[in-house]
Amino acid sequence: MTDAASTKTGPKIVEPTIFDLSSPGRTGVSFPDPDVPHSELPKSMLRADLPLPELAEVDVVRHYMHLSKFNYSVDGGYYPLGSCTMKYNPKIDEDTCRLPGFLFTHPLQPIETVQGNLALMYQLQEWLKEISGFAAVTLQPAAGAHGEFTGVLLMRAYHKSRGDAKRIKMLIPDSAHGTNPASAGMLGLKIVQIPSDPRGNVDLKALQERCDDTVLGMMLTNPNTLGLFDEHIEEVCRIIHACGGLMYGDGANLNALLGIVRPAEIGFDLMHFNLHKTFAVPHGGGGPGSGPVGVAAPLADFLPEPLVGMLEEGDEETPPLFGFVKPAKSIGRMKAFHGHFGGGLVRAFTYIAMHGPDGLKDISQYAVLNANYLLARLRRTYRVPFDRICMHEFVAEGQFEGSDVRALDIAKRLMDYNFHPPTNYFPLIVHEALMIEPTETENKDTLDAFAEALIKIAAESKTQPELLHNAPSTTQFGRMDEVKAARDLVLCCWLPEDYEEQR
């Protein structure tokens, strides 16, 4: 058994890996002996050794419990991450998505045996349509970026069906999230960047100049990544439509719009939802997400297959029969099976059911209230380049005159105050950007404490900048050597070479 802590000279090991902790002959969960006769295994095809760890269950549990202690989480504290909507994840959603009737259903079961699942999906499609104003919704995409890629494919298919093959450009604002140009890039489209005007809106003149019949459309987040609702949004959509293009909405910031406005009604032709942002599906340490896409009527025939549809209408005695339908000119399948049913769809369904129309409007009103409150408290200390009423988030500059402190240092210092930093260095159009999105599930005491911490840090930047440069200093782990990580490139660990000899 290798003694992990004294194995080698070198870095101090805080928590050994699962491979470090392995010891020959230990077993965790085991299974019964076969209740059927043994069949011969094809000897020439067998694997010689399976170099996986060997641990008892208690060791596995302790290891993961130790790891969990190193994580900041929404359950533990505040995450003002702009564009991520780190709102509270309701615990009831954890229970409902794990009901055996959901957990143990196979996607290829006959539809008569899974009417519960199909009815839930159909209902969720209808609810998302109602919230957004779109005519049809697919629940299949697995994440926001996946929804964006779906959207770009939809736009291309639409134009192709009209016999229009010369539309090869996508207009994207300079404030856009990287997934927007990346999604368009996956289709080989040429990206044309549109600048923002001094008030943070899309520059209408620049937009008009770049609009012609080679433009597939525009990808726009509204409110945008500066947290601003475009003051000319309807005009932006009109300009794009006038040159025959389609208007794609990145729904990452939908948390500001629930019950406030329907994107379809102000001119968007299609939009993806981020269920793991707006609808409180947990972030899971990086995933899974869920990225349904809503479309206006002219695009409905192109949606990915399969869509959930009502195959037979019901009456007073019989419920409707739900099943899968293939849209007439479908772009195809975006992933295997139906979408993130268990993780995303059931949770979002539960969430919408528990909020209703008034509750959804409250979410957006209070998300926007909280953001504006923080903006009001911080604008005299941090420069806010686009200083007007914001939506659910705002962007400030993390730098000060006469100080070499940068957004990175402010972010790291916030950890010493027990806050997760805001998003930094995005959007690209603000220098040393700090993007702050409190969400609606933070109380006023937390918001005040956060504002006070940021104000204190601003003062520290002038009087004790080394506190920021060396931050975080109160957390278990400090700043990382990212150059070493990329140059040495250690991406895996293994059982020690002499492991088998210890059996």
Among residues 389 and 462, whose Cβ is nearest to another protein? Answer: 389
For residue 489, what are the contacts with CB-CB under 8 A and spacing of at least 6? Answer: none
Under rule CB under 8 A, residue 395 binds another protein: no
What residues from 15 to 34 belong to the interface with another protein (CB under 8 A)?
15, 17-19, 22, 26-32, 34
| DSSP bridge partners of 434 | 396, 424
Torsional class of 25: left (φ above 0), alpha (ψ -120 to 50), beta (otherwise): left
What residues from 326 to 385 belong to the interface with another protein (CB under 8 A)?
331-344, 346, 349-350, 352-363, 365-366, 368-370, 372-373, 375-377
Structure tokens at 424: 């930094």
Among residues 244 and 425, whose Cβ is nearest to another protein? Answer: 425
For residue 387, what are the contacts with CB-CB under 8 A and spacing of at least 6? Answer: 379
Neighbouring C-beta atoms of residue 155, cutoff 10 Å: 29
Sign of CA dihedral 133, 247, 324, 120: negative
What residues from 463 to 482 belong to the interface with another protein (CB under 8 A)?
472, 475-482
CB of 458 to another protein, least distance (A): 18
Which residue, among 288, 226, 274, 271, has the nearest Cα to 430 in the 3D structure?
Answer: 226
Among residues 24 and 462, whose Cβ is nearest to another protein? Answer: 24
Among residues 462 and 493, whose Cβ is nearest to another protein? Answer: 493
Of residues 494, 497, 498, 501, which one binds another protein by CB under 8 A?
Answer: 494
CB of 459 to another protein, least distance (A): 21
Query: Where would I find the beta strands (DSSP E) of 327-426?
Result: 394-397, 423-424
Of residues 137, 239, 396, 415, which one binds another protein by CB under 8 A?
Answer: 415
The span of 49-57, 292-300, 320-328, 397-405 binding another protein (CB under 8 A) equals 49-57
Among residues 57 and 213, whose Cβ is nearest to another protein? Answer: 57
For residue 42, what are the contacts with CB-CB under 8 A and spacing of at least 6? Answer: none
Given a contact cutoff of 8 angstroms between Cβ atoms, the answer to whether 439 and 184 are in contact is no
Contact string 206-245 vs another protein (x = CB under 8 A):
----------------------xxxx-xx-----------
CB of 379 to another protein, least distance (A): 11
Of residues 3, 37, 318, 497, which one binds another protein by CB under 8 A?
Answer: 37
Which residue, among 1, 13, 78, has the nearest Cα to 499 in the 3D structure?
Answer: 1
What residues from 177 to 206 belong to the interface with another protein (CB under 8 A)?
177-179, 181-189, 191
What residues from 253 to 272 belong to the interface with another protein (CB under 8 A)?
259-262, 265-266
The span of 204-212, 320-328, 439-447, 458-466 binding another protein (CB under 8 A) equals 439-447
Classify residue 342 by its DSSP letter: I
Torsional class of 402: left (φ above 0), alpha (ψ -120 to 50), beta (otherwise): left
Structure tokens at 434: 């700090």
Q: How far apart, in whole angstroms, are the C-alpha atoms of residue 142 and residue 441? A: 25
CA torsion, ordered 493, 494, 496, 500, to nearest 10 deg: 170
What residues from 306 to 325 belong to the interface with another protein (CB under 8 A)?
none
Given a contact cutoff of 8 angstroms between Cβ atoms, the answer to whether 249 and 220 are in contact is yes
CB of 461 to another protein, least distance (A): 19
Of residues 81, 171, 226, 384, which one binds another protein by CB under 8 A?
Answer: 81
Q: How far apart, in whole angstroms, are the C-alpha atoms of residue 168 and residue 189? A: 5
Among residues 94 and 462, whose Cβ is nearest to another protein? Answer: 94
Among residues 177 and 462, whose Cβ is nearest to another protein? Answer: 177
Given a contact cutoff of 8 angstroms between Cβ atoms, the answer to whether 377 and 394 are in contact is no
What residues from 111 to 150 belong to the interface with another protein (CB under 8 A)?
113-117, 119-120, 127, 130-131, 133, 142-146, 148-149
